[in-house]
C-alpha cells in the first residue's frame, strides 16, 4: 500500500507466557517506556487477539498483539532542511500545510524526508525563551532551563511534538506543538474532541442524501494487517459528511471527523459505497471502472487520492483565542475537478 505502516504485530513466544502486557511491550517496542505504552493500552491502541486489553493482562499461548503507534512520544528525528509551507507559527505551535506524498514521521521503511525531519530543522530557530533541553511528549525525557523546554537537544536526540497525523497521501493542515505544555494541552483538546478537523473528499458515486453520519467502529483488517475495516469489534469512530458539489458519477464532500482512527475517512466512505477517488487501497478498483477515459487517465496520473485536510480550528492552548485555518485545494486537485 502507499501508506507508511505505523503499526507493529508481535506474537509472544513460549517464554513470554505469563508476562504482563505492558512489561512485555516495554521489552519488545524499542524506544518506548512502560508508562508510555500503558497510555497506548489505555487508549485501546494496543489490541490482543483483535480486542482491547488491560496493562495487567497476562499473556497466553497463541496470543497476537497489535500495536498502533498513535503518538510520537519516543521518536528521535534528525533535522533535514526540507521546505515547509507554514500557515501560522508562534512561540507555542505551528500550523503546517503538508503536501501529499510526505510521511508525517519516520517509521517502518521510512527514515528521512518526513514532516518530523523537516520541523526538527525548522524549529532550530525557536526563541531562547523556550530553549534549553530535550523535548519528549509525555514528559519521559524532559529537561529544561528556567526559560522552558526545547524541541531540540543533541544531534541524535531530536524530538518533535506532533499531536495528530495525516496519511501520506492526504494533503492539508496539521498542527505541531513546540513545547511540552502546549503538546499536552493540544493532545487533551484532540482527545476531548474540541478540535474541528474538516476535509474535502471526492468520492465515487452520487449519494442519495445531501448529508449523513457514519457511526461505525474501525479495527485492523483480520486478513490484511496494513488495512483497516469497519467492524463491530473495533474502536468507536464517527464521521460526518455533506455534499458540496455533485458531478456525473462523482460527488465532492465536506467531511468532518469526530474521532481520529487510522484511515477513518477512507474506510468510512468506502463502507457506504462511496470510496475516495484515487484510493487504490479501499476503492476496490473503482478507479479502473471510470467510463470517461480522460478522467480515468487523470486519476492514474494524479499520484494520490483525493483527500485534503481543509480546515483546522481550536482554542489556542496559552491565550485561549479561537484559531481557525482554512487551506484551499492544492493545484493538482483543483485542476482535476475541472475535468469533471
CATH of the domain at 43: 3.10.290.10
96 within a domain of the structure (yes/no): yes
Residues 208 and 313 in one domain: yes
In the prediction, which pLDDT does 293 show? 96
2 within a domain of the structure (yes/no): no
Q: Where among 190, 223, 241 does a domain terminate?
A: 190
79 within a domain of the structure (yes/no): no
pLDDT over 60 at 249, yes or no:
yes
Domain of 183 in residue numbering reads as 86-190
| pLDDT (average), residues 88-106 | 93
CATH assignment at residue 119: 3.30.2350.10
Residues 109 and 130 in one domain: yes
pLDDT over 70 at 150, yes or no:
no
In the prediction, which pLDDT does 59 show? 96
Residues 35 and 49 in one domain: yes
Residues 185 and 225 in one domain: no
| pLDDT (average), residues 201-208 | 97
| pLDDT (average), residues 84-109 | 90
Residues 165 and 213 in one domain: no
Residues 231 and 328 in one domain: yes
33 within a domain of the structure (yes/no): yes
pLDDT band at 70 (very low <50, low <70, confident <90, very high): low
Residues 202 and 305 in one domain: yes
**Which one of 167, 179, 279, 287 is the catalytic residue?**
167
Could you tell me if residue 318 is left (phi over 0), alpha (psi between -120 and 50 degrees) or otherwise beta? alpha
78 within a domain of the structure (yes/no): no
| pLDDT (average), residues 65-73 | 68
Q: Where among 140, 158, 190 does a domain terminate?
A: 190
63 within a domain of the structure (yes/no): yes
Helix (H) or strand (E) holding 214: strand 211-215
Q: Where among 168, 190, 212 does a domain terminate?
A: 190
- Chain Cα centroid distance, residue 119: 16
Domains held by the chain: number: 3
Give percent of the chain above pLDDT 70: 83
Q: What is this structure's pTM? A: 0.76
pLDDT over 90 at 317, yes or no:
yes
pLDDT over 80 at 134, yes or no:
no
Strands (E), 216-262: 218-220, 228-230, 238-247, 250-257
The pLDDT tens digits of the residues spanning 297-315 come to 999 999 999 999 999 999 9
Q: Give me the helix-helix angle, 34-42 and 21-28, nearest 10°.
A: 120
Per the CB < 8 A criterion, the answer to whether 214 and 239 are in contact is yes
Of 243, 249, 166, 164, residue with least CA distance to 201: 243
264 within a domain of the structure (yes/no): yes
Give percent of the chain above pLDDT 90: 58
73 within a domain of the structure (yes/no): no
Per the CB < 8 A criterion, the answer to whether 70 and 45 are in contact is yes
pLDDT band at 225 (very low <50, low <70, confident <90, very high): low
Residues 103 and 151 in one domain: yes
| pLDDT (average), residues 232-250 | 94
Task: Compute the mean pLDDT over every residue in the chain, rounded to the nearest whole number.
Answer: 83
Tell me 244's DSSP state. E
Residues 133 and 51 in one domain: no
pLDDT over 70 at 140, yes or no:
no
Residues 200 and 308 in one domain: yes
pLDDT over 90 at 260, yes or no:
no
Positive or negative, the CA dihedral 65, 71, 73, 79 is positive
| Mean pLDDT lowest among 11-25, 42-56, 317-331 | 42-56
Residues 96 and 62 in one domain: no
Active site residue 45: no
Helix (H) or strand (E) holding 35: helix 34-42
pLDDT over 80 at 261, yes or no:
yes
HSE-up (13 A, CA, CB side) for residue 131: 8
Residues 52 and 137 in one domain: no
Amino acid at each position: 500500500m502507499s501508506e507508511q505502516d505505523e503499526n507493529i504485530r508481535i506474537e509472544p513466544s513460549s517464554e513470554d507466557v505469563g508476562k504482563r502486557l505492558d512489561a512485555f511491550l516495554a521489552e519488545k517496542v524499542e524506544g518506548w517506556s512502560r508508562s508510555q505504552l500503558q497510555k497506548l493500552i489505555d487508549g485501546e491502541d494496543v489490541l490482543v487477539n483483535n480486542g482491547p486489553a488491560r496493562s495487567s493482562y497476562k499473556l497466553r499461548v497463541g496470543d497476537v498483539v497489535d500495536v498502533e503507534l498513535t503518538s510520537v512520544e519516543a521518536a528521535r528525528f534528525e533535522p533535514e532542511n526540507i521546505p515547509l509551507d507554514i500557515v501560522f507559527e508562534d512561540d507555542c505551535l505551528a500550523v503546517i500545510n503538508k503536501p501529499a506524498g510526505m510521511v508525517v514521521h519516520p517509521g517502518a521503511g521510512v527514515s528521512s524526508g518526513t514532516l518530523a525531519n523537516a520541523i526538527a530543522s525548522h524549529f532550530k530557530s525557536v526563541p531562547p525563551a523556550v530553549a534549553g533541553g530535550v523535548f519528549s511528549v509525555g514528559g519521559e525525557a524532559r529537561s529544561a532551563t528556567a526559560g522552558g523546554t526545547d524541541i531540540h537537544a543533541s544531534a541524535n536526540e531530536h524530538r518533535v511534538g506532533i499531536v495528530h497525523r495525516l496519511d501520506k497521501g492526504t494533503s492539508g493542515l496539521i498542527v505541531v506543538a513546540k513545547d511540552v505544555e502546549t503538546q499536552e494541552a493540544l493532545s487533551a483538546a484532540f482527545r476531548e474532541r474540541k478540535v474541528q478537523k474538516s476535509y474535502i473528499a471526492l468520492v465515487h458515486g452520487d449519494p442519495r442524501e445531501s448529508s449523513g453520519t457514519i457511526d461505525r467502529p474501525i479495527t485492523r483488517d483480520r486478513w490484511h494487517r496494513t488495512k483497516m475495516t469497519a467492524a463491530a469489534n473495533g474502536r468507536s469512530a464517527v464521521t460526518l459528511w455533506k455534499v458540496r458539489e455533485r458531478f456525473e458519477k462523482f460527488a465532492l464532500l465536506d467531511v468532518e471527523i469526530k474521532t481520529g482512527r487510522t484511515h477513518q475517512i477512507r474506510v468510512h466512505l468506502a463502507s457506504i459505497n462511496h470510496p475516495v477517488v484515487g484510493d487504490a487501497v479501499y476503492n476496490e478498483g473503482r478507479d479502473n471502472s471510470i467510463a470517461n477515459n480522460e478522467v480515468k487517465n487523470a486519476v492514474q496520473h494524479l499520484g494520490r487520492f483525493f483527500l485534503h485536510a481543509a480546515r483546522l480550528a481550536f482554542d489556542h492552548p496559552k491565550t485561549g483565542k479561537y484559531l481557525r485555518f482554512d487551506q484551499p485545494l492544492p493545484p493538482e486537485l483543483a485542476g482535476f475537478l475541472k475535468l469533471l
